[in-house]
A and B are shown apart, each in its own frame.
Chain A
């Protein structure tokens, strides 16, 4: 069995056989499918680790108390205690448990990333759809605006936005989300341009469907796939951008345990308490790596070879 077939099977997009499957065929097929999924994953331990890591993060965001019973806002030990069995990540400058702070910070950081992606995808999709489908002056106006936005470096734009919006986790998420609109809008527009003159769109129009129906039922579903594949990649960059802004002090004020703020809070203690910067920093790094690994799987890894 060639690798590309395995991948197609694993991704659930096996080529159609052109005949109805019998019950035995289906059973045989399911067994084969599980086996091929397993062999697919066995060949990719990095992907497995990434999935496990993301699942743990989502659990920590939903139910932080599963992982730690310690209050992240109270001093529980001597300040700057090195990592030990009692405090796996050590304690911070005023004696709070760093592991508890990282775990409780997960909800804020993941939540902010989710909000940022939602804003970027929803607004980017609407603008891209309208620009691509309507064309004319709407297209020109939207795309010039997108050009302007793309000409400004994303982190600089996010900084300017968060200063204008005011500090806080939600505002940081909004700022990061707004910066990703331009890229998303451009990708969706190019897909819409490809799709809008297809025969089935013309058929729908000729059949008397209203423009909104054509847009939502025919154009959108056929043009959004590349954008969805990008979401995983967006997740990594959103986590990084949000942590950067929170590192710079634009996120929630202390004592709120945002990841970026935890890294920043430990930087004066590098010489005496390395864990305060290093361990939260590692968590951010692993999360970004996991996101990148997942996005590689989503964009059809293997099938291209």
Chain B
């Protein structure tokens, strides 16, 4: 779940459109149309497909990164966009196949019960301060996370059960766990477990926050971070170890990357169409059509992990009844949501996991729109239609409180469509929204019946985080022995095909129990200028390395 900015900044963000309206009106009045200019330039574009070296790539981000220490969450995806360019990981997950491929580690072996991983490092890798990458440095990295568990919140969840690293020689080391962790290779590909230089590890966490002391082995180094304004990165000329899913494995083509923070989506779109920036993140569904008709290329990828959907709190209230939960599965018309609030680029959910997550299988049939079936289930559960069309049982109304946050712009439209559709089968919904801390407080006080949200990760282990009885004991109160057993079993082996099969069974069980009502897949959309090439999204659908990126001639 992408963390939204704290309230004070949200206020500024939300006030920005007023200014935008003013500017838009001013432009309309003066008859000055920025898009007209870029339109005429378009016809003259004769773009070469040969990479061009040099220049600056400008990139508008939605949120300020807040923190550039990869171990700490920052503001979510946008923080990772920047950090990915600074730090490398032991392994890479190929976005095309979902397979784990070499990066800083050139090979590895896993023992039978997935408790010990032995890696062999690539030779000749150095950090940007010149120190070489050795097995001892990797050990320092993991030990540092384990010792700072309370602060390294982003990293520690990826390293649960870590008991230590034994160094065999400069190139070889073994990472050990107290219990099976079949998802560790996927975790090792994440930015959170990116490898930092000893000079960074020597500093306490607060001193790593602004990124100026964060030294990695990535293709870019930080030149300047101005909070709420911009992050400027400089190419590292000696870089030569990008993973092989990138065409260019040596130093990046562009001299500099300038990320600017532009919180208002409409302003980002306008900056792109008027030619002021090369790339924008967080393109809104309603702007996709206008970017397409302006012939601006889009980079689109569904986010792997748990799709946007409704997760019930089943400790008490009407949702303690499995039939009521299952009635919600077919009460929502996902195609209608796609038509109204999204575009065909955004896929409807076909299972608990998104379609490009390892372990996904098509369960679209169970997730069709069948209000009659929902009504039947609710009738069976004893909820009869009462006054105002809302169902009642023993004098209690079937009125549910649905919590949501605006971490994805179309959410506000989507939850209101869900509200209308559930009302049609006799389920009343009260919407509740706030900042993340407020939402967590609301959740803790037991005032929510449903939570609308998602959880991104390119591994089926994300199911364990969301649905096991251990992680939801205080919140959702999920408690199903059969499901728990499946969720533990998928960690018990590093054999991906076995893990996938178990993940599929787990999802079937989750739908059967009504623990999740999948709605739509979160989709990341970047917009670029026609002369910008090589900007790609990684396996986790966050910005990949910018080694291939270049700005061609206009």
Contacts and interface: CB of A to CB of B under 8 A. Distances in A.
B21 interface: yes
Contacts of B15: 247-248
Interface stretch (B124-132, B211-219, B355-363, B431-439): B431-439
Interface in B212-228: none
A2 interface: no
B265 A268 contact: yes
B420 A273 contact: no
Contacts of A74: 420
Interface string B335-361: 000001100000000000000000000
A253 B24 CA distance: 28
Nearest to B401: A253
Contacts of B430: 253
B412 A159 contact: no
Contact of A267 (B17, B290, B417): B17
Nearest to B8: A159
A254 B420 CA distance: 11
A83 interface: no
Interface residues of B, number: 34
A2 B548 CA distance: 81
A267 B286 contact: no
Given A167-B434, A253-B430, A271 B412 contact: no
A254 B412 contact: yes
A183 interface: no
Contact of B24 (A73, A79, A255, A270): A270
A248 B14 CA distance: 6
Interface string A260-291: 00001101111111100110010000000000
B420 A268 contact: no
A98 to B, nearest CB: 14
A277 B24 CA distance: 12
B310 interface: no
Given A254-B412, A254-B416, A268-B265, A249 B433 contact: yes
A270 B420 contact: no
Question: Which residue of A74, A247, A253, A274 has the most chain B CB atoms within 10 A of its CB atom?
Answer: A253
B364 interface: no
A80 interface: yes
A281 B130 CA distance: 57
Given A74-B420, A93-B340, A167-B434, A278 B14 contact: no
A254 B429 CA distance: 11
Contacts of A8: none
Given A253-B432, A271-B287, A277-B17, A94 B340 contact: yes
B341 A94 contact: yes
A95 interface: yes
A270 B266 contact: yes
Given A269-B286, A271-B286, A255 B416 contact: yes
Contacts of B21: 270, 277-278, 281
Interface string B381-420: 0000000000000000000000000000100110111011
B431 A254 contact: yes
Interface in A83-115: 93-95
A74 B421 CA distance: 10
A143 B15 CA distance: 34
A91 to B, nearest CB: 11
B165 interface: no
A79 B286 CA distance: 11
A68 interface: no
A174 B419 CA distance: 29
B490 interface: no
Contacts of B419: 255
Given A253-B433, A254-B431, A277-B17, A268 B416 contact: no
A261 to B, nearest CB: 10
Contacts, number: 79
Contacts of B270: 271
Contacts of A75: 340, 417, 420
Contact of B20 (A248, A270, A272): A270
A264 B17 CA distance: 8
Contacts of B96: none
Contacts of A163: 7
B286 A253 contact: no
B269 interface: yes
Contacts of A94: 340-341, 413, 416-417, 420
Contacts of B412: 93, 254, 265
Nearest to A78: B340
A273 B341 CA distance: 13
Nearest to B291: A271
Interface string A46-75: 000000000000000000000000000111
Contacts of A265: 412
Contacts of B289: 272
A166 to B, nearest CB: 10
Contacts of B413: 79, 93-94
Nearest to A244: B15
A148 to B, nearest CB: 22
Contacts of A274: 24
A7 B409 CA distance: 54
B341 A268 contact: no
Given A80-B286, A94-B341, A94-B413, A264 B14 contact: yes
A274 B286 CA distance: 12
A278 B25 CA distance: 10
Question: Which residue of A94, A95, A271, A281 has the most chain B CB atoms within 10 A of its CB atom?
Answer: A271
Interface in B417-460: 417, 419-420, 430-434
Interface string B1-21: 000000100110011010011
B82 interface: no
A30 to B, nearest CB: 48
B142 to A, nearest CB: 41
A161 B20 CA distance: 28
Nearest to B11: A248
Contact of B340 (A95, A167, A271): A95
B284 interface: yes
A267 B14 CA distance: 9
Contacts of B264: 267
A247 B14 contact: yes
A268 B266 contact: yes
Interface of B: 7, 10-11, 14-15, 17, 20-21, 24, 264-266, 269-270, 284, 286-287, 289-290, 340-341, 409, 412-413, 415-417, 419-420, 430-434
24 contacts: A74-B420, A75-B420, A79-B413, A93-B341, A94-B413, A167-B434, A248-B11, A248-B14, A248-B15, A249-B14, A249-B434, A253-B430, A253-B432, A254-B416, A267-B266, A268-B266, A268-B284, A268-B286, A269-B286, A270-B24, A271-B269, A271-B270, A274-B24, A277-B21
Interface of A: 73-75, 79-80, 93-95, 159, 163, 167, 247-249, 253-255, 264-265, 267-274, 277-278, 281
Minimum-distance CB pairs A-B, first 7: A267-B17, A272-B286, A93-B413, A270-B266, A253-B431, A79-B340, A94-B413
Given A94-B340, A253-B433, A255-B416, 6 more contacts: A94-B416, A248-B11, A249-B433, A267-B14, A267-B20, A278-B21
